[in-house]
Amino acid sequence: MNTQQHKRAAPALDPDRFAVFGRWRRIWAVASINGRRKGLVALHDMLADRFRFGDRLVYLGNYLGDGEDPSGTLDELIAFRRSILAMRGMAPGDIVFLRGSQEEMWHRLQQLHLAVDASGVLAWMLDHGISGAIESYGHSAEQGMQAAGRGTQAMMTWTSRLRDAMRRRPGHDALMSQLKRACLTANGTLLFVHAGLDPDRPLEIQSDAFWWNPGGFSALSEPYGNIRYVVRGFDPDQRGIDIGDYRASLDGGIQRNLVAGCFDNDARLVDRIIV
């Protein structure tokens, strides 16, 4: 890694894309959920008992997915956020939601009518788990493939109905519109990402690497520039929890567990929840 390029004075990060925790004692990071609402409820029950004054909370993406209730998962996220914000000392910026690969696909799904090969792109998305979210909002992958085959206007109609279905669920559209690409601490101790990053590029120009470059994360063998430790929530290879010297992967592995890890000011994993 060319660490020198990261040690230059970095430009201010776009607050619409990046979240920054200023004052904090510990940070809880929740890994991929993938539409498993029941598991998330159980994890939240345990997290509520362990959440302390000064703690912060970041969700690392993949709220949608092929679990039993993707749209219900967003209901649970919204409800738990409300309950945590009621705690003493908490502010809206103390809870952050990252955009995962599932949410990125959902975003691109809304623009599918602009794709040159809408059928091919949709088929790829279905292979990567987006069908669960589509069905959870009352539509079907089969309808989407049929619309893609009929042309741009039919595809626009189908994606518009998907958007409307999400907007009818209170808070869902608002939650999806506030997703961040990454979250970091102001003192440079911790960086939270969804799946990956490019170690040779500054944070502000990572782009799609957060979702589609897991190999870059695995290659971290030293601090990422001025950032001491990087935490992710999704490993496409499902290798499970992996705690290293400069990085931590909280993926639930082939058992598809739901995982939350708690990190202190020294970037140490001091507590964990596995459901």
List the strands of the sheet with 247-249, edge to edge.
Answer: 18-21, 182-185, 190-193, 229-232, 247-249, 242-243
The pLDDT value recorded for residue 4 is 38
* Cβ pair 251, 234 in contact under 8 A: yes
The pLDDT value recorded for residue 12 is 76
pLDDT tens digits for range 205-260: 998 999 999 899 988 999 999 999 999 999 999 999 999 999 999 999 999 999 99
CA distance 208 to 181: 9
pLDDT score of 2 more than 50: no
Mean pLDDT of the chain, nearest integer: 93
Helix and strand numbers, DSSP H then E, in the chain: 10, 11
- Contact residues for 111 (Cβ-Cβ < 8 A; gap 6+): 159
CA distance 111 to 39: 31
Nearest to 97, CA basis, from 190, 188, 194: 194
Show me where the domains of the chain are located: 3-100+179-274, 104-167
Structure letter (DSSP) for residue 10: P
The residues facing 230 across adjacent strands are: 191, 247
Compute the chain's Rg from CA coordinates.
Answer: 19
From the options 3.40.1440.60, 3.60.21.10, 3.40.640.10, 1.10.150.530, give the CATH code of 3-100+179-274. Answer: 3.60.21.10
pLDDT score of 1 more than 90: no
pLDDT tens digits for range 107-158: 999 999 999 899 999 999 999 999 999 999 999 999 999 999 999 999 999 9
pLDDT score of 89 more than 80: yes
Structure letter (DSSP) for residue 264: -
* Cβ pair 84, 57 in contact under 8 A: yes
Torsion of Cα atoms, 155 then 64 then 180 then 19, to 10°: 170
- Count CB neighbours of 174 within 10 A: 10
CA distance 182 to 105: 17
Copy the structure tokens of residue 163: 């958007």
Band of residue 63 on the pLDDT scale cut at 50, 70, 90: very high
- Count CB neighbours of 6 within 10 A: 18
- Contact residues for 236 (Cβ-Cβ < 8 A; gap 6+): 195, 214
